Amino acid sequence: MAKAVVIQRPQRWDNPFDPDVSDADVDRLLSMEPFCSMDEAKFPASAPLREVIRNDMRLLVFEKGEIIIREGDYGTSAFLVLSGQARVILPPGLPHALLGRLEIERKGVFAALRQLWSNDPLPEARGPASYEGQGGQDSQVLKTEEVRVVLPDLEKVLEQHKNVSLGPGQMFGEIAALTRAARTTTIIADQKTELVEIRRTGIRDIRRSNDEFRVRVDKLYRENSLLAHLRQTPEFKHLDDEKLATIADRILFETYGDFDWHISYKRLVQQGS
C-alpha cells in the first residue's frame, strides 16, 4: 500500500498577502512576464510558483500622481508594472514637503533651553483625529486603508526633477526588500498604473528557484547598492573608489538560513511550554 506524502506548506501562507487574490488573478499573472518564462518544475513542492503568486503577491492600482514608494521609507516588498507607467525620481530627489513629510525645525541650544523652561506643566493629550491628514504643504494625503501621498502638479514636478520611466514588465524595489534597507528613490505613477506587489518572502523563494531572476537581482544589487553598503561598513569605508570597486567585483550576494526562523522558534517555545 502506497504511503501518503505530506507536503509542509509555509506557515506564512496562513496569512496570505491578499486573501482576495483569485484563481483568475493567478492565471493572468502566470501568463505574463517574467512568470510565464519561469520553469514551474524547478520550484519545490512546498512552495510552487502558483502558490507563491497566490499567497505572496497582491494587485494594486495607483492613480496619476500617487507616490508608489518614497525615498527613505523602509519596505519589505517589490513591485512589477503590469500596465501604465511610473517615474523614478533621480538624485537629489524630492523635498520633504512634496513627499508628504513635515519638515522638522532644528532648534539651537538656547532655543531648546527656552522651550524647556516655558513648557506647560500639564501633560499634553491628543486623540488620533488630531493627526489625520497631516503631511507636507505641497502634497495631499489620501484617507484610505493604506495612506497614499498624491502630488497635485505632477507635470511641474517632472519638469523640475530628473527622472526615468518604468513601463510594463519592469520591476523595482527588490534590493531594498531583500536587504531590508531604506528605499533609495521615490517612484510615482505617471498615469493610472496597475502593479503586482511581491512581499520579501515571495521574492526570496522565486530567487532561489529561478536562475534568471536571481542573476537579475544580483546584478541590480551589484550596480546600485553594493558600493553604497561597502562605504557604510567600518571595515571598508576608508578605502578609495577603485579599491571598493575591486572588492565589489569579487563579492557574491548570498543568503543563508531561514528568513522565517522566528516562526520555528515560536513553535519550539509553544511545544516546550
**Domain range annotation of the chain:** 23-99+137-265
Phi/psi at 252 (5° precision) = -105, 140
Mean per-residue pLDDT of the chain: 79
DSSP-assigned states of every residue in 223-264: HHTHHHHHHTSTTTTTS-HHHHHHHHHT------S-TTHHHH
Q: Is residue 86 over pLDDT 70?
A: yes
Fold that domain 23-99+137-265 belongs to in CATH = Jelly Rolls (2.60.120)
Determine the average pLDDT of the residues in 160-176: 92
Determine the pLDDT at residue 7: 63
Better pLDDT: 140 or 19: 19
Determine the average pLDDT of the residues in 42-46: 93
Strand partners, 187: 69, 88
Residue 109 — pLDDT band, cuts 50, 70, 90? low
Residue 132 — pLDDT band, cuts 50, 70, 90? very low
Q: Is residue 125 over pLDDT 60?
A: no
Q: Is residue 263 over pLDDT 70?
A: no
Q: What is the pTM (predicted TM-score) of this model?
A: 0.71
Determine the average pLDDT of the residues in 189-193: 97
Q: How far is it, in rounded angstroms, from Cα 101 to Cα 99?
A: 6
Strand pairing report for 186-189 and 171-172? unpaired
Q: Is residue 133 over pLDDT 50?
A: no
Residue 264 — pLDDT band, cuts 50, 70, 90? very low
